[in-house]
């Protein structure tokens, strides 16, 4: 590895560790073309058989109002507090950019698993590429994304799965990080042949 490659690896580590999920965004819109630029980075995710098992629906401006409206009745149905749905609708309607990430649901278990893994890698790529540009994101799986009514409104077809709803915008608040368990506590290294013939 060359000097510059090793520096770049370090900066990837920093971006991975410093990225936070952002819930509060400034109202500023994102620059024209940034969505496409970030997605074009994200699609370099590993994906088995180069199936590229994804498509995207992005909402901004009046589109965000449509998204808020599409979610409203479903949030209202599931919420005990009547004000909650109105607040969520307002919140969704004002997020600078929301991307719905959709994958085809392959009926074969292995292909489904591989595709879900690939789409997850794509979403993380997107989040990291955004963070590098000072843009915050959060991966949401609010319950209504599973509701047929919401899916229909968004044109998500039977046989497609919404993997993520990703909100994006310039962060208003960056929350403190919550520590991760040291990987060494979860790691089993096998460097000799087990005497019993299997791992305990």
Stretch that binds ligand FMN, among 49-57, 75-83, 136-144, 188-196 (CB under 6 A): 136-144
Q: Is 55 annotated as a binding residue?
A: no
Which of 180, 176, 178, 167 has the alpha carbon at shortest distance from 23? 167
Among 52, 105, 111, 142, binds ligand FMN (CB under 6 A): 142
Q: Does 141 bind ligand FMN (CB under 6 A)?
A: yes
For residue 138, what are the β-bridge partners? Answer: 167
Q: What is the DSSP letter of 189?
A: -
Q: How far is the CB of 116 from ligand FMN (least distance, A)?
A: 10
Q: Is 141 annotated as a binding residue?
A: yes
Q: Maximum distance among all alpha carbons in the chain?
A: 65
Give how many residues touch ligand FMN by CB under 6 A: 7
Terminus-to-terminus CA distance in the chain, angstroms?
A: 37
Distance CA 126, CA 108 (A): 27
Among 41, 140, 153, 160, binds ligand FMN (CB under 6 A): 140
Q: Is 167 annotated as a binding residue?
A: no
Q: Answer yes or no: are the C-beta atoms of 136 and 173 closer than 8 Å.
A: no
Q: Answer yes or no: are the C-beta atoms of 98 and 167 closer than 8 Å.
A: yes
Closer of 12 and 36 to ligand FMN (Cβ):
12
Q: Is 19 annotated as a binding residue?
A: yes
Sites of contact with ligand FMN (CB under 6 A):
20-21, 138-142
What residue numbers does the annotated binding site cover?
19-21, 48, 139-141
């Amino acid at each position: 590895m060359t000097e510059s490659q090793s520096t770049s690896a370090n900066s990837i580590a920093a971006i991975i560790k410093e990225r936070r999920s952002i819930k509060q965004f400034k109202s500023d819109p994102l620059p024209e073309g940034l969505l496409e630029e970030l997605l074009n980075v994200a699609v370099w995710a590993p994906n088995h058989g180069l199936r590229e098992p994804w498509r995207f629906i992005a909402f901004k401006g009046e589109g965000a109002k449509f998204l808020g409206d599409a979610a409203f009745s479903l949030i209202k149905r599931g919420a005990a507090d009547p004000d909650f749905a109105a607040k969520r609708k307002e919140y969704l309607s004002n997020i600078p950019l929301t991307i719905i990430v959709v994958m085809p649901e392959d009926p074969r278990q292995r292909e489904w698993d591989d595709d879900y893994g690939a789409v997850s890698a794509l979403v993380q790529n997107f989040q990291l590429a955004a963070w590098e540009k000072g843009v915050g994101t959060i991966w949401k799986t609010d319950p209504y994304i599973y509701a047929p009514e919401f899916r229909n409104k968004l044109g998500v077809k039977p046989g497609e799965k919404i993997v993520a709803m990703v909100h994006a915008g310039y962060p208003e608040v960056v929350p403190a990080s919550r520590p991760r368990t040291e990987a060494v506590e979860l790691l089993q290294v096998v460097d000799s042949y087990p005497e019993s013939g299997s791992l305990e």
